Amino acid sequence: MIARRTLLKAAAVVGAGLAGPGCRRDAEPPSPPVQDAAGHLVWRNWSGQLHSYPASRAAPASDAEVAALLADAPAPIRPVGAGHSFTALVPTDGTLVTLDGLAGMVAHDPERLQATVRAGTRLGDLGPALAAVGQEMPNLPDINKQSLAGALATGTHGTGRAYPALHGGVVGFRIATPADGLVDCDAVRNSELYQAARVGLGAFGVLTQVTLHNAPLTRVKKRVEPRRLEEVLEEWPRLVAAHRNVEFFALPFTGLAATITVDEAAEPVRPRGPDEDADILMELKRLRDWTAWAPALRRWIAQRVLAAGFEPAEAVDEGWKLLSNERPIRFNEMEYHVPFEVQVPALREVVAAIEARRPDVFFPVEARVIAADDAWLSPFHGRLSGSIAVHAYYKDDYRFFFDLVEPILRRYEGRPHWGKMHSLKAADLARLYPRFEDARRVRARVDPAGRMLNPYLRELLGA
């Protein structure tokens, strides 16, 4: 979004002067009990809308310990990373497994630009560890708090026409499965399991280590610029072709967008300044609250503030320092990936629907582009994809995702992000994923008793 002297903050200041009597108020959502009747402690995901009461919790410190608990621990056995998924992949009344004890780099190969990393390593820790050996992941997601295993399991991605999601850089991994114990996989060894579990939803077993093919450590320039949304939509294919990484945030009810481009640069380092995105988001919320009595005022205010002129924000540094951002304000999210050629018309419909029916929405709608890959359960399997992500403040009603936004994205043959809200079931997914049945077959072979499946996964995979 925007750094200092932000358009959004200025717009909110102007909006304060026009605040009307309909100023909106919100309340903290209710919290579940800390314990259930059996005395089991609650687990909640990051946004707070999912919870469960695991009977057992495990924190293995070795591959052997992971394999042993898959054989003996109470099922369903569900691995958890940062708990940042909004779908019910993790909740279990059986065993919750954290991989925080399996973190750090195992080895690296400077000639091949590869590194083997323990699966519980957080992406935010992986950046400096790889930089120390002259490597970096070619792309990173917007948030880097996830564990590597969790990010791979859900198809987490960054943006850029030439850049696949994170699992596109996986050349091999070790996984503990209920049926076979520890198994090493790559394109040759156990190749079916490699293709099926690179994006595995934690349903095939538990990853313990991953070998990544990386890029040389590279300096880039990140540029953030406020623009009119219609101009950005018209230029989107050109922007995608012109920049290494590019995305934009459409700001509902303003007619504005914030474009973010990242390109290689030889300029001197100019570190990013203090992260003000959270402050800006709260200013957007205040603008919504202050103009609740007349939502059209948001556009009037924002357009006039943009006309005053604002300089783009720029930073130059190593890529791992600039590609991800701090997102401390909780939200819920739906994200679908549509064929790139229909991304703009789909996004136009989504924004129009929100502006017609949901004046409470103030979170930006995020648009990115992701290269095709061949992982069987990858949302980007076989096609260049444009992502459309819709967010709702954690205190706000997110049900409009399903009755307003999702029907649009499904009409455009969208595939859901595995970690973001959606309503698709096995029959829907089988139509969208050419290798869905192959993945189901492999999953049944490595976990015939369904020890990795909670009720949500049973319904999702038709198991």
- Residues near 253 by beta carbon (within 8 Å), at least 6 away in sequence: 288, 295, 296, 298, 299, 355, 359, 361, 362
Q: What is the mean pLDDT of residues 93-118?
A: 98
Q: Widest CA span of the chain, in angstroms?
A: 67
Q: Residue 21's pLDDT is what? A: 47
- For the chain, the structural domain boundaries read 7-23+219-416, 43-98, 105-216
Geometric angle at alpha carbon 64, from 62 and 65, rounded to 5°: 70
pLDDT in tens, 284-321: 999 999 888 888 898 888 888 776 767 789 999 999 99
Please name the fold of domain 43-98.
3.30.43
Please name the fold of domain 7-23+219-416.
Vanillyl-alcohol Oxidase; Chain A, domain 3 (3.40.462)
Same fold, 7-23+219-416 and 105-216: no
Q: Residue 32's pLDDT is what? A: 97
Q: What SS3 state is found at 446?
A: helix
Query: Global pTM?
Result: 0.94
At 233, which helix (H) or strand (E)? helix 229-242
| Residue 185, beta-bridge partner list | 173
pLDDT band at 5, cuts 50/70/90?
very low
Q: Residue 295's pLDDT is what? A: 83
Write down the residue that tokens 């930073």 correspond to: 315
Hey, what are 311's tokens?
């300089």
One-letter identity of residue 80: V
Write down the residue that tokens 């520890």 correspond to: 182
Cβ neighbours around 341 below 10 Å, total: 12
What is the DSSP annotation of 414-463?
-EE-TTS-----HHHHHHH-TTHHHHHHHHHHH-TT-TT--HHHHHHHT-
How far is it, in rounded angstroms, from Cα 171 to Cα 393?
Answer: 37
Q: Residue 27's pLDDT is what? A: 86
Write down the residue that tokens 């990051």 correspond to: 46
78: pLDDT strictly greater than 80: yes
Q: Residue 17's pLDDT is what? A: 52
Q: Give how far Cα 214 sits from Cα of 61, 164, 202, 315, 404, Å.
A: 26, 12, 24, 23, 39
How far is it, in rounded angstroms, from Cα 394 to Cα 28?
Answer: 9
66: pLDDT strictly greater than 90: yes
Could you tell me which of 391, 269, 395, 256 has the C-alpha nearest to residue 321?
A: 269
397: pLDDT strictly greater than 50: yes
Q: Residue 23's pLDDT is what? A: 52
Please name the fold of domain 105-216.
3.30.465
How far is it, in rounded angstroms, from Cα 459 to Cα 188?
Answer: 31
Write down the residue that tokens 């994205």 correspond to: 409
pLDDT band at 24, cuts 50/70/90?
low
